[in-house]
Amino acid sequence: MQGKTVAITGAAKGIGRGIAEIMAAKGARLALIDKDKTALDDAVAALNRLGHQAVGIEGDITRRQSCHRAFADAVAAYGRIDSLVNNAGLYIRTPIEEIDDAEWDLIFDVCLRGVFHMSVAAAAHMRTQGGGRIVNIASVDGFVAFPAMAHYAAAKAGVISLTKSFAIAYADDKILVNAVAPGATNTAPMRENDYLAKLSPRIPLKRGAEPREIAEAVCFLAGDANTYCTGETMIVSGGLVIA
C-alpha cells in the first residue's frame, strides 16, 4: 500500500477504522468518509499524530449525489484515488416479522445502495487513470441463513452479487473489484448483549476476528499484490461458515 491513495467509507469506527490503521501503517494516504463527524475527526487526528497522512470527509453514502460528492472530495484531496473500500454498513438485529419498511430501506440504503453509487463514482475516475481497485465489505451473512437479520443478510448477498457485476463490467479498464466477507468481528455492535461471546463457541477458532485481521485481507485485494483476483469474495470467518 506504500504511496497508494485510498478512500474508505464508514472509516471512523470498527472494521473501517481497523482498515484505515493497517493501510496507514503500510504507507497509504487515506481519505476517510463517514457521517459521524466526531468519530471521524478522532480517527483522522489519531492517524496524523502517528505521522500518517489522512483527511476526513463528512458524508452520507445513502444517495447518488452525496456519494459522488464524497468521492470527488477524496480525489480533490490527493489528485487521484487508487483504491476504494466500501466498508460503511449498518448492523441491526430484528426478527423477520418485526422488520418494517423504514428499517428495510435504511439497511439497503447504507449496505447496498451506497456500495453501488460509490463504486460507480470510483470506476469512472479509475478508468481515466488506467485502473484501480475496489473492495467491498460483505459478510458471512450473505452466505449463511440469518433469520435474526434477514434484511442485513439480503443486502450483503446483494453486495456479493454487485461485486461480480462490477468486476465483469470494468475488467477491460483494469479495475479489479472484489469483496471480503468477515465473520463475527470484535466491534461495538457485536459486543452488545455479549453477542460475540455467545457466538464464539460456534466458531472453530473459538473467537471473533479483530478488525486488523479483516484489514489484512482488504489490503491484499486493494493493493498491487493482487493482480489476478476479480469478482471474488474472500471469506474471513475463523471457519464459521463451515462449522
Amino acid occupying residue 213: E
CA distances from 57 to 34, 44, 236, 241 (A): 7, 10, 28, 35
Separation of alpha carbons 139 and 180, rounded Å? 7
Does the annotation count 170 as an active-site position? no
Q: What separation, in Å, do the N-terminal and C-terminal C-alpha atoms of the chain show?
A: 33
Separation of alpha carbons 170 and 162, rounded Å? 12
Asked whether 179 and 134 are in contact (CB, 8 A), the reply is no
Separation of alpha carbons 123 and 67, rounded Å? 13
**Neighbour tally for 131: CB within 10 Å:** 12
243: DSSP letter = -
The residue from 152, 170, 195, 228 that is catalytic is 152
Query: What cell does 25 get?
Result: 501503517
| Burial class, 199, CB count within 10 angstroms (exposed 0-12 / middle 13-18 / buried 19+) | middle
Which residue is associated with the grid cell 490527493?
78
Residue 24 CB-half CA count within 13 A: 24
The catalytic residues are: 152
